[in-house]
Chain A
Amino acid sequence: MADTTPQQQQRRSELRYTLHLMRQNPIVVVGSVLALGSVALAMLSGLIVNPAAGNVQDLPLRLCWNNPVTNWGIHNLYVCPGNHVYLLGTDAYGRDLLQMIILAMPLDLEIALTIVATAVAIGVGLGAVAAYAGGLIDELVLRVTDVFFSIPGLSLAIVLVTFFTHSLFWLTVSVLITWWPTYVRLIRSQVLSEKEKPYVEALRSTGAGRVRILFRHVVPNSIYPVFVQATLDVGGVILVFSVLMFIGFSPSPLLPELGNLAHAGIENVFIAPWLVLFPGLTILLIALGFNLLGDGIRDALDPRLRR
């Protein structure tokens, strides 16, 4: 791609400088590796593990462990028969836990990305219009977000799921309902300060329409904090969603989803602790990756910390 205008050149060197700043910080590098690694693993999951393995039950193999690294200090540990080594043991249905975790990753990431993307779209749309229009619309949108900010997200999601059917779609909707108001507040404060700038007045004097000014100029200039928050929220959404599954709102006990795998381990936690620990650890690593990455992006873009 050839550089055509000085602006493009400048923008590219800005980006390069940002990436350079991010590479300087070892924590950000670790975060990017974790986040990108989990996305890559999720995309390749179908090639590594046959998705049909999630439906195969093999009861003679249930809750067994034959990884020689540890015996968990359990005296009546059930050692898996056969020569195949199950690195992370098997679950209550006799499925290989490692396979199930790999199968669960695309589902968890897909749902988290869907929720965050939809919440950003709703939040940015509503928040930007409210801030730019002001007056009654602004007041109304602000009051509605107030309501959601005064209920703990997890509590509201639990109550909402109760009244919906326990399908993946409605679980996603429940988390989404608790999530969009954050972005409304974020974009609103940005647009409020952005719309007072001279370039907006200049645009108005050229006869540009309100919609055009808002969505082609003001929103793109105020979107950076939203991106940072969205990166951070991928981890948060995975946490909330898996907790809902963990409490027992799963549509099917066999569904390979990280929270659901842990839920299946609750009643056997003393004879098969790996069932709760490894899916939880996977969630921790994914969430940690996105949180470190988001943190790094924020620091790299912060004008006070630059140069």
Chain B
Amino acid sequence: MVFVLFAVSLIVFLLARGALPPETALAPYITPRLDDAAKLSLAKSLAVATQSCPSWGAFLQHQPNCLVPLWEQYAVWLQNVLSGNWGYSLLPGISGGTTKTWDVFAARFAYTAELAIAGAVLTIVVALPLGIVSATHNNKLPDHVSSLIAIAGYSMPIFWLGYLLLLVFGVYIAVPIGGYSVGLLPTNGAFSTTCGACVNSPGSISVYTGMPVVDSLLSGNPGYFWNALVALILPTITLSVSTLGALTRIVRSSMMEALRQDYVLLARSKGLKERVVVYRHAFRNAVLPALTISGLIFAFLLGGVVVVEYIFSWPGVGSAAVIATTVFDVNFLELYILVTSLIIVVANLGVDILYAVLDPRIKY
């Protein structure tokens, strides 16, 4: 587990520092007011330029006596990161100006978490029934329909579905408000007051978790909660459709496997109701294989988040990562990739533990 994170950080770091010119690493710290001597001492203090480097000009020309070997840079970087110093980011923070990478990331991460959790819940709630129906009506019409939905789901480019929903619910289905024609659902971020279904002036909330839906509930502001919930609808649907397809297929195949087992035959021959056989006997056993790949499903969701946030201007870490790639904000990208893989590693660990709890045959 630690090895995985270590390897991920090493890969991203070596690529970032090795493929980009060394001065890129300094970009978040350099302001127009700094003179060359100040820039050089900055580069030296960040261990990007060697102590023996004569001048800023020499550093920009990448003279060999100015360049610190990559493994030494990595050691310094790792030391900083382990003590909680993620450096500064080029992305604008809440108050603008130079901002600590960690602060930018933390403020945005709450929005991504909200979207990803909503997406995961919708995925599970829709995929389980679809998969079960598919398995119990194998090779009949419900199976074909649900299979087609599932396969179409993961064949769909996320951006296509996103813009389709955005156009239909944000433009074509419109509601007249105050002389203007406004789309039914908001399409521009995590909170909006200008949409057909929105509450006009919901007031404000205090920040507890950073997630608008949770915070508005904790602050006891139903109007704000409604607006935050409505803003979630389109991004959540867009995010979960592709993942939903994959999960449906897996539930279907593990359900079919379970329904072929002898204990199902026994349960049926006892005269148990079909509902009891399917849900009490087969389903409980079919859930385990589906659970095994939920780590992969979560990885899929976290990848999809990038595109969904980009389309709906969602203020999360995914849309920030896209901006970070255009300005070469290496610090932010490092943090983004590491946290994403940490989540997946922890999710996989959680699945293993849950597996042991749910299946009494497995002992560690």
Contact = CB atoms under 8 A, between A and B. Distances in A.
Interface in A14-48: 26-27
B15 A155 contact: no
Interface residues of A, number: 48
Contact of A292 (B16, B151, B325): B151
B4 interface: yes
Interface string A154-175: 1110111111100000000000
- Which range contains the number of B residues in contact with the other chain? 35 or more
Contacts of B161: 280
B164 interface: yes
Contacts of A73: 172
B4 to A, nearest CB: 5
A300 B278 CA distance: 26
Contacts of B147: 27, 295
Contacts of A273: 163, 167
Given A159-B12, A164-B19, A292-B151, A276 B163 contact: yes
Contacts of B16: 163
Given A152-B303, A152-B344, A247-B322, A280 B157 contact: yes
Contacts of A230: none
Contacts of A239: 155, 157
Contacts of B12: 159
Interface residues of A: mostly helix, strand, loop or mixed? helix
Interface string A266-289: 000110010011001101100110
A162 B307 contact: no
B304 A154 contact: yes
A248 B157 CA distance: 15
Contact of B160 (A164, A235, A262, A270): A262
Contacts of A160: 15
B110 to A, nearest CB: 18
B341 interface: yes
Interface of A: 26-27, 73, 143-144, 146-147, 149-156, 158-164, 235-236, 239, 242-243, 246-249, 259, 262, 269-270, 273, 276-277, 280-281, 283-284, 287-288, 291-292, 295, 304
Given A27-B144, A155-B303, A243-B157, 17 more contacts: A26-B144, A144-B7, A150-B4, A151-B8, A152-B300, A153-B303, A155-B306, A155-B337, A163-B16, A236-B154, A243-B158, A243-B159, A246-B307, A248-B326, A270-B171, A284-B155, A287-B155
